[in-house]
Structure 1
Amino acid sequence: MTVSTLEAGERGAAHAPPGARARARPWLYLSPLVVALLVWVYGPLVFTAVLSFMSWNLTDTHLSWLGTANYARLVDGRDFPRAARNTLVFAAVLLPFATVVPMSLAIALWKRPGRVSSVYRALLFLPVVLAPVAMAITWQFLLDPLSGLVNVITGRLGLGTHNWLGDPATALYAVGFITAAKVVALNVLLFGASLASLDRGLLEAAALDGATEWEITRHLVLPHLRRTIVLLGMLSLVVVWPWIFANVAVLTQGGPDGATDNVYYRLFTYAFTFFDAGTASAAAVFITTALAVVLGIGLLLTGRRRRDFA
């Protein structure tokens, strides 16, 4: 490239409209992120959506077009509807542990600041840093029907022993309770972060005016946490499933008699037990759509709360 060419390029850049350069500069900074999203997020989503209309055995390179047969197989079969029902039960079991329980603990710790409160907060957060598989194996020993600590305690209390993970009537609730420990631990921290922005002077002023502890909580603390309750309730139902998957995979493998099967473990079974990538992709599209609806409802409710209290 000659010197005259470089000079011409510099003159052209100098005469370029400043508005165009200003508009292009943010996209230059965002381009690595956009490329990463296209390659690692939206590209696989599009591929999964296309694959959901095809038949592909993961052990073979041959693909064939099936249309909506994979979706029909999900709807007409017995396994996926049962897994969807179990998923809703899991969500119902975990929702109080994602909202009411951690919110109550966070409020109690926030009202009594100090070193002891920090120690309790650290102990509550401990389940989050533990590996899900290690935690599941620990609970497998604790819930052992013959020598587990839980049955030893219930036996000495005269409540008898029970096969918590082997009984279809209790297995789902046992797995849900095990997962709830992580949900509570994480959301206590998040509720505490939300409470950090609440002025303690308001509580002190209300107490001086004669307000009771319950009145302060009801009229000052809870309205401050309304948006956080809705948001964490929705987000917890989205992010909690990898923990449930780990517990189900280690403790019950979807049993007994499909009692702990859920849509995530069913997707894994389609893909890596039956090697049916098409049906697994259809299940993934179903799950992604359901999660998008849940997040949309959460954002809608949060936006309404924001307008109501603006």
Structure 2
Amino acid sequence: MAPWLYQAPVLVSLAVWVYGPLVFTGVLSLLEWDLTSPDRSFVGLDNYRRLAEEPEFPHALTRTGLYVLAMLPFATVVPMALAVMLWKRPGRASDTYRSLLFLPVVLAPVATALAWRFILDPLGGVVNLTLGGLGLPEQDWLGDPDTALWAISLITAGKFVALNMLLYGAALASLDGRALDAARVDGATEWEITRHLVVPQLTGTTVLMSFLCVVFAGQWTFTNIAVLTQGGPDNSTDNAYLRLYTYAFVFFDAGTGAAAAVAIVVLLTVLFAVSAPLRRRHARP
């Protein structure tokens, strides 16, 4: 019993805070409830049928996929490049740059979103004032359906860059320096060393960062969407998590909101299972 007693706090925490709410959400997705009435009626799969028949949720899932594609380079290529550059120039300046780049993770998401509202303001925002000073056309970045989704993506991308840069830095710290030194002795340039030795050894980390982008892109954009656009204009910035919130806490349809949550969990589980062979193939020993 001793091993189980040592693991008991973690197992109880998982049961209470993770699997318990997940099971409750699955049960709630089979009910009709307005969050206030004591009456809950069993409706079976009607909530899931409603999700499939209404165009809003499939549209929101598609938008979530666009967010993932827009932020994938900022979750992999950009933080990898920054981490490699800082790794090659160790010292106090490198630590300072790393701390400054990590600020988007530390700052409160709502405060960051409000700051971006003023920066992207179509009348007196810093971005449009700069464009006007350069003689370039100004844009309503958050009010135009053609630019709103990409603006939200770029705002959220800073958090991916900051966090993943540290994860890439941790992976770089564990590399075998003897192979790099041998390549330098053989006359290889720093670019050749980075391309043929460093980057291939970061493949496993890149696969992991890509999967984390799929998992968290929709969640991390939720705050920026809720503060800046509320899903508009014309639902161009809507995503699955905002749609879930709208069903449950705007329309007070807890059953449909729970069904949307279960659908998201199932979709992510399928993606996790499909990507498992790829992640195992590139896992570091």
Q: TM-score range by the shorter chain?
A: over 0.9
Q: Residue 225 of structure 2 corresponds to which residue in structure 1? A: 248
Q: Residue 170 of structure 1 corresponds to which residue in structure 2? A: 147
| 1:255 Cα deviation from its structure 2 partner | 0.5
Q: Residue 257 of structure 1 corresponds to which residue in structure 2? A: 234
| Structure with the greater alpha carbon radius of gyration | 1
Q: Residue 29 of structure 1 corresponds to which residue in structure 2? A: 6
Alignment of 1:166-205 (within 5 A): 166-205=143-182
1:42 to 5, 19, 24: 19
Please give the alpha-carbon distance, in whole angstroms, between the structure 1 residues aligned to 2:257 and 2:179. 53
**Contact 1:231 1:298 (8 Å CA) reproduced:** no
1:149 to 116, 126, 131: 126
1:131 to 103, 108, 114: 108
Corresponding residue SS for 1:236: helix
Q: Residue 272 of structure 2 corresponds to which residue in structure 1? A: 295
**Contact 2:168 2:205 (8 Å CA) reproduced:** yes
Q: Residue 282 of structure 1 corresponds to which residue in structure 2? A: 259
After superposition, the C-alpha distances for 1:104-141 in whole angstroms (9 at most, x for unaligned) are 11111111112221111111111110100000000000
Structure 2-normalised TM-score? Answer: 0.96
Please give the alpha-carbon distance, in whole angstroms, between the structure 1 residues aligned to 2:20 and 2:159. 32
| 1:191 Cα deviation from its structure 2 partner | 0.3
The amino acid across from 2:120 in the alignment is: L
Please give the alpha-carbon distance, in whole angstroms, between the structure 1 residues aligned to 2:89 and 2:2. 49
The amino acid across from 2:21 in the alignment is: P
| 1:39 Cα deviation from its structure 2 partner | 2.1
Please give the alpha-carbon distance, in whole angstroms, between the structure 1 residues aligned to 2:165 and 2:258. 35
| 1:304 Cα deviation from its structure 2 partner | 1.4
When structure 1 is superposed on structure 2, of 82-91 and 289-298 the one drifting more is 289-298
The amino acid across from 1:302 in the alignment is: R
1:122 to 91, 99, 109: 99
Corresponding residue SS for 2:202: helix
- Matched pairs, number: 285
**Contact 2:34 2:253 (8 Å CA) reproduced:** yes
Please give the alpha-carbon distance, in whole angstroms, between the structure 2 residues aligned to 1:280 and 1:236. 23
Corresponding residue SS for 2:102: helix
- Supply the RMSD in Å over aligned alpha carbons: 1.4
**Contact 1:51 1:277 (8 Å CA) reproduced:** yes
2:72 is aligned with 1:86: no
The amino acid across from 1:52 in the alignment is: S
